[in-house]
Structure 1
């Protein structure tokens, strides 16, 4: 019994640490290519290095960290070519989710998606990327969740996390946000009509459009500002 309790305690600790460290990574706490100091992390979380090392191995398997023999643990650095590949896969997954949802969509689903559309429209009017970004993430996640395929949702979510590591992208403001939400409305219109083909095409083109915006030089994006802004790699 004691061994079982210790296993449960250690397993719970590892899960908590994984969530906390993953949250720090996705929030931009560490720069791409930065070395993570296991001793500092152990002190920060008041644990020994063992659980930290185990969590880092797990996050490396998920593609968020990189383990370099004899050197340590580093933030993974994702280049534009790798990000483009992730976008292509993401487009296929998102399109599949939209197609599935169109075959089972309910009035409650449409109501929730329209609520998010209206919220994003308000953010567009305010030219507020800070307000738009979390609603955008929720919109995409809602479509995956409503589609009802757990494996598809999990695969999509992991790709989104990897894209958070790609920092070298245009900051979308003003017109960029407006275009993104117009694309969202096309997806919802197709879903409302129960048109699986149109929903799939609109969702696919939306993510591909985001990929195209990603490759624009910052100066080419309307309303670009050099100030701090949220990571916008998932404004697609």
Structure 2
């Protein structure tokens, strides 16, 4: 029997590896390297990361809890995909959380919060002027994370982050057009002005309006065909972490999901 110390070290090592694996798998999913609807190949991911399948499996369970992955009994785990209709509902939920965070900040701005949001708004203006959609998108995520950090508790931040994870791909596409980036950042500037006004009700309205405008931009950028995507396809082989679709889909349909705004 292994000494207790060895067991403890092994547990810590496994959990640490699972955390690292989870971050890398999330990056692959959000970056589109593992597409929505595809089956997750645990062994291929383990080989890619140079670790055993145990931490990969644990990482996938964590991603399932955050809404990026769904497991179908007797079929495996898949990257979730959402229909356009489901994505619209996620926007509505994000609007409520954002509005509440804005109202909280306006009532009592934490030290440094408004300066941080102003700096991010300025950086996004530069990215929009340069038509740098990738940089703008990253700064946009930072802006909303900073907003929630200043105006919401840990649980609301976690819920908001999970909602955002499901929308990442959609949100990216909705902000690619230069005019959308500029419109979005004008709304950020309006949010900042409302926060400075110390009027919680006005700040809530402006915050909710920004997310609902994002919903409108998303709807305008989403082909109607995405409203009715089929179930994830079973997979074998393919790129590390992916699977190649086969003619016969799983008998149980996995919930659909989207990533991005």
- After TM superposition, the score normalised by the length of structure 1 is 0.86
Deviation at 1:195, TM superposition (A): 1.1
Deviation at 1:199, TM superposition (A): 0.8
Say if 2:163 is the partner of 1:159. Answer: yes
Q: Which residue of 1 aligns with 2:260?
A: 233
Q: Which ranges of structure 2 fall in alignment gaps of 5 or more residues?
A: 224-257
What is the SS of the residue equivalent to 1:35? coil
- The whole-number CA distance in structure 2 between the counterparts of 1:127 and 1:2 is 53
- The whole-number CA distance in structure 2 between the counterparts of 1:148 and 1:104 is 12
Q: Which residue of 2 aligns with 1:60?
A: 64
Of the three residues 172, 178, 182, the one matched with 1:178 is: 182
- The whole-number CA distance in structure 2 between the counterparts of 1:21 and 1:118 is 32
- The whole-number CA distance in structure 1 between the counterparts of 2:171 and 2:146 is 25
Greater RCO, 1 or 2 (C-alpha within 8 Å, sep 6+):
2
Q: 151-160 or 120-129: which moved more?
A: 120-129
Q: Which ranges of structure 1 fall in alignment gaps of 5 or more residues?
A: 220-230
Of the three residues 142, 154, 166, the one matched with 2:146 is: 142
Q: 147-156 or 199-208: which moved more?
A: 147-156
Cα separation, partners in 2 of 1:74 and 1:106, compared to 1, 3 Å: closer
Q: How does 1:64-143 map to 2 (within 5 A)?
A: 64-106=68-110, 108-143=112-147
What is the SS of the residue equivalent to 1:84? helix
**How much is the aligned-residue C-alpha RMSD, in angstroms?**
2.3
Matched residues, number: 223
Cα separation, partners in 2 of 1:134 and 1:217, compared to 1, 3 Å: closer
Q: Which residue of 1 aligns with 2:36?
A: 32
Deviation at 1:3, TM superposition (A): 2.2
- The whole-number CA distance in structure 1 between the counterparts of 2:259 and 2:126 is 18
- The whole-number CA distance in structure 1 between the counterparts of 2:193 and 2:115 is 12
Contact 1:42 1:52 in 2 (8 A): yes
Q: Which residue of 2 aligns with 1:5?
A: 9
Deviation at 1:80, TM superposition (A): 0.2
